[in-house]
Amino acid sequence: MVKIIRSDSEALIIDLERDMVPLSTAGCPKVFTTVRYIVFKRVPKDFSHVDLDAFCSDLSNSLGLDGAKTIIFLTAVDVSTYSYAQAVFRDVKVEVFITFGINMPYCVNIDIDVHNQLNTINIAVIVNKPLSRLALLDLFRTVSEIKGSILSLGGPQCISGISLGTASDATTVVAPEDSNRFAGIATDIGIATAQALIKALTKSLININYEDYIAKTLGLNNFEYIIELSRRVYNFAPIPSVNEEEFLEELKKEFSYALTDPNIQILIRGAKLVEISAQLGLIPSITSSEFLADTPRIIVDELIGKALSEYINGFRGLLAYYWVERLKERGDLSEIKELPPISDDIITALIGSILSKIYDKYVQLKR
């Protein structure tokens, strides 16, 4: 249905091979006009242009395209890493292109300065079925609902609650024009769109490495935060004759090994979704404020920490988890104590149990 006429790290140019009608919030959008091309263009991370119209016109000309018929997405990521998927349902074919670059998701009730770290998720959805302008609105709504659901389930999370995408997300839907009025999730168009969009978003989400997957699940910027906390804990009980460089190498190796385990990934992801539900007040028997105050009524955080630490290193892992918890409670790890109730136990369980494995290894070597 479409043809790619350029694909490299700087630009992806898609020829729709016929005129279509768009609804778009891209950097260089088109709304209910006529389009032939969709472009994903890489720009600097500090990109800021006051006159976007002039920029888009000049960019279209430089690419050899008709600016009046070109939608341009702007992103700081390597465009060659885009995700593509298609789906066919009955007589409907849908193709989806996504560029995905996100350090921190948009989170409600956070300091505005954090928003400077946000990147962009760009989504282009191309449908072969002719649609009216009303149906394009319906399709845009459908895409937004699906994207929000998938990101909430599998995307980076917020420390303070559920992620809502990024502050600069952009979406384009295009189709030939006709009188078809509906494109909701229960229509053939909606079903094909859901199938293609889920495939493409999943490809983008699973490309993250294991360590950052866990960090972003917990609402953290990167995994170095947990490594640094582990180093601080270790300094309370260092191993004699082992220098810090050797210890850090062993620590990262043990963490990397543990976090490739799908059971650990599933447990942490599931626990975070439970925590988000409680934070949003979606658990009937407890209020959001009561949960965030870490009420004694709730022990699920400790059950999760116990299960995780014992799974990683048995009874010794459990004892080390309790040790790190005591350090947290007495104020030596104040950053962890500021995290939500379940996230903080996940981090202390990871740190304690993995440190206990390192201690075990050096004890065995001395025997």
- The pLDDT tens digits for 97-110 are 999 987 667 776 65
- For the chain, give the longest Cα–Cα distance: 80
Compute the half-sphere exposure of residue 76: CA atoms within 13 Å on the CB side of its CA. Answer: 14
Do the beta carbons of residue 224 and residue 174 sit within 8 Å?
no
Nearest-angstrom CA–CA distance, 295 and 283: 14
Dihedral sign, CA of 91, 97, 102, 105?
negative
* Range name among 122-131, 148-157, 343-352 with the lowest pLDDT average: 148-157
In the listed set 205, 220, 250, which residue is the last one of a domain according to the structure? 205
φ, ψ of residue 168 to 5 degrees: the values are -125, 25
Q: Average pLDDT, whole number, for the chain?
A: 90
Whether residues 162 and 44 fall in one domain: yes
Whether residues 190 and 75 fall in one domain: yes
Amino acid at 83: S
pLDDT at 158 (0 to 100): 84
pLDDT at 117 (0 to 100): 54
Do the beta carbons of residue 88 and residue 191 sit within 8 Å?
no
Whether residues 13 and 110 fall in one domain: yes
Nearest-angstrom CA–CA distance, 255 and 350: 8
Dihedral sign, CA of 277, 278, 279, 282?
positive
Confidence of residue 51 (pLDDT cuts 50, 70, 90): confident
- The pLDDT tens digits for 176-232 are 998 888 898 999 999 999 999 999 999 998 888 888 889 989 988 789 999 999 999
pLDDT at 109 (0 to 100): 62
CATH number reported for the structural domain that contains residue 276 in this entry: 1.10.3760.10
pLDDT at 112 over 50: no
CATH number reported for the structural domain that contains residue 70 in this entry: 3.60.70
Whether residues 170 and 292 fall in one domain: no
In the listed set 181, 205, 229, which residue is the last one of a domain according to the structure? 205
Stated as kind and residue range, the H or E segment containing 46 is none
| pLDDT greater at residue 93 or residue 337 | 93
Whether residues 98 and 199 fall in one domain: yes
Q: Write the DSSP symbol of residue 239.
A: P
Amino acid at 246: E
Whether residues 149 and 297 fall in one domain: no
- The pLDDT tens digits for 137-171 are 999 999 999 998 888 888 888 887 666 666 668 99
Q: Residue 222 belongs to what domain range?
A: 210-366
In the listed set 158, 188, 205, which residue is the last one of a domain according to the structure? 205
pLDDT at 251 (0 to 100): 95
Confidence of residue 320 (pLDDT cuts 50, 70, 90): very high
Average confidence (pLDDT) over 63-85: 95
Number of domains in the chain: 2
pLDDT at 56 over 60: yes
Whether residues 249 and 172 fall in one domain: no
CA 265 to mean position of chain CA atoms: 15
Whether residues 214 and 361 fall in one domain: yes
- The pLDDT tens digits for 230-263 are 999 999 999 988 888 999 999 999 999 999 999 9
pLDDT at 355 (0 to 100): 97
Nearest-angstrom CA–CA distance, 156 and 143: 19
- The pLDDT tens digits for 26-39 are 989 999 999 999 99
Whether residues 168 and 125 fall in one domain: yes
pLDDT at 367 (0 to 100): 54
Concatenated DSSP letters for 84-97?
EEEEEETTEEEEEE
Helices (H), the chain: 52-62, 133-154, 188-205, 210-217, 224-234, 244-259, 262-279, 288-292, 300-329, 334-337, 341-366
pLDDT at 135 (0 to 100): 94
Residue length, the chain? 367
Q: At what angle do helices 262-279 and 341-366 cross, to 10 degrees?
A: 150
